[in-house]
Amino acid sequence: MRHSLPIAPQFYVTAPQPCPYLENRMERKLFTALQGDGAQRLNDGLSKQGFRRSQNVLYRPSCADCSACMSARINVADFTLSKSQKRILKRNRRLERRATSPWTTEEQYALFRDYLNSRHATGGMADMDMYEFAAMIEETPIRTRVIEYTDMESGNLVAVCLTDLFDDGLSMVYSFYDPEHARDSIGTYIILDHIEIAREAGLPHVYLGYWVPGSAKMGYKAGFSGLEVYAGGEWERMRKASDYDARLHPLNNDPIAEQVADISLPDGQPLRPGPK
């Protein structure tokens, strides 16, 4: 009988490139491959430590200039609707949700192109063709769904969210929508609906990606009650944005070797022995 031994994932660091969130700073990512029979457990375990998925890769910011990017999630039990969020739900009540397997359609891609041309015409995804879009949606080794939102009056697809399923919640990997519906705050609506999906499924969290103090692009996430951020190696209830200014300073960073050593694998064992 042959037994396969568990192999610890290998971690790598990307070359520095301009930060998409803060001006005059450089971004660097710590990443590892997501593959094999243990992919779901690895994804679940590392996502609770601030990692995000992109196709078959798990990554976490590991910049030399600052440590501002913090993984953010909503604690569903602590979430309550604000007055403005109640109005957003009312404005979008004509939308119908449908969850599907992660397969790409031409209708999705057309919507994706309209979204990019309107919101991110010069961004990193601006030149993504149909095949690259299909890879973003379909190349997933874990439990993933495509959540579509259709206008019940017109029958048109107006929004899509690529969503991963964790053992403790939902992760909103990427969403896009019809730019003409931006006035209805449809991006916020998609998050609100994911909170409802998590509540229906008995899942405690909705993962939103990264919140970045000092970034107007990411500021909207602080508008959700029950928000938690991963800071200093643990999840904590979101405090005032100004409380996290120290993370913009380079001396707040741990060396790469220490960051990797402090990562815990799904079996609960860190990559280095702890003190005896």
pLDDT of residue 271: 54
What pTM was estimated for this model as a whole?
A: 0.90
User: Mean pLDDT, 10 residues at a time, over the chain (276 residues)?
Assistant: 56 92 91 91 95 95 89 97 97 96 96 87 72 94 97 96 97 95 93 98 97 85 94 91 81 80 74 44
**SS3 annotation, 120-161:** CCCCCCCCCCHHHHHHHHHCCCCCEEEEEEEECCCCCEEEEE
Please, where in the chain does CATH 3.40.630.30 lie? 74-228
Dihedrals phi, psi of 38, to nearest 5 degrees:
-95, 15
Strands 205-211 vs 169-177: parallel, antiparallel or unpaired: parallel
* Residue 122 to residue 150: CA distance in whole angstroms: 28
Q: Judge whether 271 and 263 are in contact, CB under 8 Å.
A: yes
Quote the pLDDT of residue 53.
96
The arrangement of secondary structure in 74-228, i.e. its CATH architecture, is 3-Layer(aba) Sandwich (3.40)
Q: What are phi and psi of 169, to 5 degrees?
A: 160, -170
> Who's near 237: CB < 8 A, 6+ residues apart?
75, 78, 227, 228
Q: What angle do CA 107, 129, 209 make, to 5 degrees?
A: 80
